[in-house]
Structures are given as structure tokens and as C-alpha cells.
Amino acid sequence: MTMSSKAGVWAGIAVLVLALGAGGWLLFRAPRVPAFPINPKDRIASWTFKGTYTGYPSFITKANTDLANLRMDMRQGKYDPYDLYIGMGEDYVLLGNGKAAYNAFNHAIALYPNQGLAYTDLAALMSELGARYTAADAYQRAEVAQPSVLTYHLEQLNFLTNYFATDTPRVAAAFADSSKQFGDIAQVLQIEAQWLAGLGQYAKAIQAYQRAIAISPGRDVSGMERAIAQLKAKEARQAAASSTKA
């Protein structure tokens, strides 16, 4: 083999290594899929954020190794691609690579649009990126896709009561959807009670806690009982303040 031929071979190997190192997508590129729409009310200043593994070299290596294994599994067709894309997206979230995570979750959604997991993972990513309206849209899509999965209702309710607490119609509609699907659920009632308490609606919050206690026989309800006592004290102070103003 001549020197020029050897150089050509090594150049080819170098290109192959770089392609694989770039994520394997140059040789095994996933098809383009529709992107979950970013809500017009949101502006993503940066797709990069401090992931859980950011600043920890050994954990970064672990995530990158896992990504390489997932890509290999994808090429070999070992597992359902939906699960593999979810795993990739979660690794990218750990690394703080928002754009790559978004793309991975979009691929999962394109495969099974009637499965909720990819929507909730994408919602959590959007919340991390500050795109809270898009996150709310994604949580709602998960709940609509699989309304019988309680976890998706709980994730949506926790998110809305944290970030959209004063948007009463939106939050109330989410609670109504959950009630329609499951009736009274202690976990849901506790979230509702905390939300109502945050709005200063102490009487309604107390009622929600009392309903949760009533359907929790045999369970430790001491935390809810303490919450009721605290709310009654606040309610009394609220009433006293109102009478003083009158």
C-alpha cells in the first residue's frame, strides 16, 4: 500500500470516529419529526442549563456512556425506540443539553402520541428552561393522552398550583378533570387544599383536608390535622381583622 493510500485509509477512519463521537447520528440519523409547539407566551433565552450532572466529570462520563449504549440499542433494534428516546432525553436533561433532550422527547411523541410519559418529561424540561406555558401545554397533553393515569393528573396539578396558582379557571379546570376521572382522591384533595390555602380561602381548604381525611381510614393523617388547626387559626385571625375594619 502506498503512503497516499494509507493516508486515505486513516482519514476515512478518522471521519468514522468523529461521526460516532458526535452522537452516531451522522451514520444513524433519526428522521425529522414535528416539534412540540413552543407556546407564543414563552421565550427560551437559552437551551443550555445546569443539569444535575453539570460539574461532576464522573457523572458526565456515566451519562455519555449511557447515551452511547442507548444509541447502540437503537441501531440494533433491541428495545422499543420510544423507551430509548425517553432514556436519551433524560440523559440529556442530566447533562443540561435542553435542545438535544427536546429533540429526543419529540421523537418519542411522534412514535406514540397517545402515551403520556414523553409529554411529562418534555413538560419538566420546558419548566427548567423557563417556558412555563409550554410546560403547562405538555402536562395537559399527557393528561388528555392517558386520562386514566393518576400520576399525570398529579404532575399537572402540582405544576399548575405552583406556577399558575392565581389562574383560577385553569387550575379549577384541572381539578375538575381529575374529579371527573377518579372522584375524590386523597392526594388530589391535599394538593387542592394547599392551593386554596395559598389563595387565602381557608374555609374551602379546611373542607378539602377534611374530605381527604374521611377517605383515608387507617392512614396517618396527623399532618393534615395539623394543617387544619393552622388554617383555623388563620381563619380566626382573618375574621378578627375583618371585624376590626368594620
Residues 93 and 202 in one domain: no
pLDDT in tens, the chain (246 residues): 444 444 444 444 333 333 334 344 433 456 789 999 999 999 999 999 999 999 999 999 999 999 999 999 999 998 999 999 999 999 999 999 999 999 999 999 999 999 999 999 999 999 999 999 999 999 999 999 999 999 999 999 999 999 999 999 999 999 999 999 999 999 999 999 999 999 999 999 999 999 999 999 999 999 999 999 999 999 888 888 877 776
101 in a domain, yes or no?
A: yes
The pLDDT of residue 246 is 60
CA distance 214 to 189: 11
187 in a domain, yes or no?
A: yes
User: How many domains does one find in the chain?
Assistant: 2
The pLDDT of residue 29 is 58
The pLDDT of residue 11 is 40
The pLDDT of residue 213 is 97
Residues 43 and 79 in one domain: yes
Identify the domain boundary among 145, 175, 191: 145
Residues 226 and 161 in one domain: yes
Residues 140 and 153 in one domain: no
Residues 48 and 73 in one domain: yes
The pLDDT of residue 18 is 36
13 in a domain, yes or no?
A: no
Grid coordinates standing for 83?
423507551
Domain that holds residue 216: 147-246
The pLDDT of residue 243 is 75
Residues 126 and 56 in one domain: yes
4 in a domain, yes or no?
A: no
Identify the domain boundary among 104, 124, 145: 145
- What secondary structure, in 3-state letters, does the chain show? CCHHHHHHHHHHHHHHHHHHHCCCCCCCCCCCCCCCCCCCCCCCCCCECCCCCCCCHHHHHHHHHHHHHHHHHHHHCCCCHHHHHHHHHHHHHHHCEHHHHHHHHHHHHHHCCCCCHHHHHHHHHHHHCCCHHHHHHHHHHHHHHCCCCHHHHHHHHHHHHHHCCCCHHHHHHHHHHHHHHHCCCHHHHHHHHHHHHHCCCHHHHHHHHHHHHHCCCCCCCHHHHHHHHHHHHHHHHHHHHHHHHC
CA distance 106 to 97: 14
CB atoms < 10 A from the CB of 50, how many? Answer: 9
